[in-house]
Amino acid sequence: MKISGRTFVISGGASGLGRACARDIVSQGGAAAILDLNPDNGQALVNELGSSSAKFFETDVADTESIASAVKGIAEWVKTTGKPLGGIIPAAGVGRPGLILDKSLQPASLEAINFVIDINLRGTLDLVRQCLPLLAVTEPHGADKERGVIVMVASSAAFEGQMGQVAYAASKGAVASMTLPMARDLSRFGIRVVTIAPSMFDSAMTAVMSDKVRLGLQKAMEFPARAGQPEEFSSLVKQVIENVMLNGVVIRLDGATRMPSKL
Ligand SMILES: NC(=O)c1ccc[n+]([C@@H]2O[C@H](COP(=O)([O-])OP(=O)(O)OC[C@H]3O[C@@H](n4cnc5c(N)ncnc54)[C@H](O)[C@@H]3O)[C@@H](O)[C@H]2O)c1
């Protein structure tokens, strides 16, 4: 898939890994539909990237009506720019750590579990689901007649969740698991599906970690022994978009880090 002349829908696009993708895509001649809860960051990014190549849609991916209204707006916007959809990058995500059972025998709250699953898993599926009818009718590209690519975001926690990460690991494990069946469902439309599973990357999500947690994670790293940079994530997304042979796979982006049981 070519980036130039195509629009990519990026949820969580106003910060961190999603924002790096928006910047890369626009720098390659593509357009970014930025869906996020945070209007200040979203608008600041549009100001930076230019309103002909980026548009902000205030969206809560946990709310199906909110996604529907963003998708309607995107359909209208791509008509005016002449840049049809080329892909979907559902990067909105949250963590809310909590033990499944704490020392005082209090089980994790269902509210906290639902919060994480609704955004990371249900929000990913719902955004993809609602964008697909638009993507599936685009003019196919190249000899392979490709229509687009979905790049989902899992995490190392999909494989080695740490203490307190049961809900997060459940949401990211499910994202990893749905990669292959989704690729199989969509192959007839010329749409590929790839998931990236990053380890610790610098972003607003990890900026709130205590020094103890951050240093503990750094000790578990092989090489390089540092957090990944958002640009290192977006550079893999660019390769995924451009390389038609990448499909139905979960790619770990972690410098050989395997999360330990305890920090
Ligand atoms: N940073 C890491 O170390 C790391 C590691 C593995 C996976 N991830 C995953 O990468 C993705 C991006 O995270 P990040 O590190 O860039 O974090 P971030 O906090 O910098 O960005 C996440 C963005 O998602 C938005 N968001 C949150 N809830 C939303 C909702 N309901 N609807 C719409 N937007 C919402 C936030 O406003 C924010 O702009 C997430 O799915 C996260 O789980 C991050």
Of 23, 35, 36, 237, which is best to mutate to test ligand 1, by the most ligand atoms within 8 angstroms of its C-beta?
Answer: 36
Q: Which of 174, 20, 149 is nearest to 88 (CA)?
A: 149
pLDDT in tens, 242-257: 999 999 999 999 999 9
Indicate if the pLDDT at residue 152 is higher than 90: yes
How sure is the predictor about 139, in pLDDT bands with cuts at 50, 70 and 90?
A: very high
Over residues 139-153, the mean pLDDT reads 97
pLDDT in tens, 164-193: 999 999 999 999 999 999 999 999 999 999
- Closest-CA residue, ligand 1 atom 8, reads 155
Among the listed residues 8, 56, 168, 233, the single catalytic one is: 168
How sure is the predictor about 155, in pLDDT bands with cuts at 50, 70 and 90?
A: very high
pLDDT at 173: 98
pLDDT at 104: 97
Residue 249 pairs in a beta bridge with: 194
pLDDT at 230: 98
Beta carbon of 64 within 6 Å of any ligand 1 atom: no
pLDDT at 122: 98
Per-residue tokens: 257:
């880090």
Indicate if the pLDDT at residue 123 is higher than 90: yes
Indicate if the pLDDT at residue 212 is higher than 80: yes
The whole-angstrom separation of Cα 74 and Cα 61 is 15
pLDDT in tens, 20-53: 999 999 999 999 999 999 999 999 999 999 999 9
Residue 89 pairs in a beta bridge with: 10
How sure is the predictor about 128, in pLDDT bands with cuts at 50, 70 and 90?
A: very high
R_g of the chain computed on alpha carbons: 18
Backbone angles phi, psi at 61, to 5 degrees: -70, -10
Over residues 62-71, the mean pLDDT reads 98
Which domains, and CATH codes, for the chain?
7-253 (3.40.50.720)
Measured N-to-C along each axis, helices 16-27 and 39-49 cross at an angle, to the nearest 10 degrees, of: 20
The whole-angstrom separation of Cα 193 and Cα 248 is 5
Indicate if the pLDDT at residue 216 is higher than 90: no
Beta carbon of 116 within 6 Å of any ligand 1 atom: no
Give distance in angstroms: CA of 94 to centre of ligand 1.
Answer: 6
Is residue 168 annotated as a catalytic residue, yes or no? yes
Of 71, 165, 203, which is best to mutate to test ligand 1, by the most ligand atoms within 8 angstroms of its C-beta?
Answer: 203
The whole-angstrom separation of Cα 150 and Cα 171 is 17
Spatial contact of 110 and 167, defined as CB atoms under 8 Å apart? no
User: Is pTM, for the whole model, over 0.75?
Assistant: yes
Per-residue tokens: 199:
């380890």
